[in-house]
Amino acid sequence: MSRPVFTVHTTDTTSDAGRQIMATVQRKQGHVPTAVALLAESPELLKGFFAATAAFESTDLDPVAREVVVLTVATRNECHLCVAMHTATLTGLGGTPELIEALRSERTLPEPRLEALRRFTLAVLHHRGATPDDELDDFLAAGWRPRHALDVVLGVGAYTISTFANRLVAAPVDPPLAAYAWEPAA
């Protein structure tokens, strides 16, 4: 069985719902990323992803902490596009080169509280939410609250959608993100 071919949609080739989403992205970003054009095949997927990420962005986690969650999910799920995109975002937030490189190479983070967040995110992924008590205890001992544990679950869910969809359609890294390109470790 051959792999399905996904269309890089334009506003002329997508559905009315897809056209609306692409127009919104165009207004906000100044262009339509290839990943969005590919995922416009399912406007419902895009709507769901954008709603989930908007909710995640409104959580009690600060922007750097949210990017730690996203990059942890992206590297774990080996989504080269998400890693590039969120490396750019974390760089723009003032993330240190040491933090960024540790996240991209799946190594211990230089800041203990963020490392506890990264480890807890991995535990949520590994245990499919049923994290052992000791892993939750370690997360809370690092200064995070129970609400943050649930915020992590929201981030994992939102970015599982993105990483899986981008991998399914083989979404490329667009030229503006080429400087942040990433490949999983061998």
Radius of gyration of the chain (CA): 17
pLDDT at 2: 61
Q: With 80 as the cut, is the pLDDT of residue 137 above it?
A: yes
Domains contained in the chain, CATH given: 16-180 (1.20.1290.10)
What is residue 89's DSSP assignment?
A: H
What confidence tens digit (pLDDT) does each residue in 147-166 have? 999 999 999 999 999 999 99
Q: With 70 as the cut, is the pLDDT of residue 3 above it?
A: no
Residue located via tokens 């080429």:
178
CA distances from 14 to 35, 50, 70, 149, 172 (A): 14, 18, 28, 38, 19
**What pTM does this model have?**
0.95
> Considering the chain, what percentage of its residues have pLDDT values greater than 70?
98
Q: With 90 as the cut, is the pLDDT of residue 178 above it?
A: yes
The one-letter code for the residue type at 145 is R
pLDDT at 116: 98
What confidence tens digit (pLDDT) does each residue in 79-99 have? 999 999 999 999 999 999 999
Q: With 90 as the cut, is the pLDDT of residue 4 above it?
A: no
Token pair for 6:
């996904």
C-alpha span between 155 and 150 (Å, rounded): 9
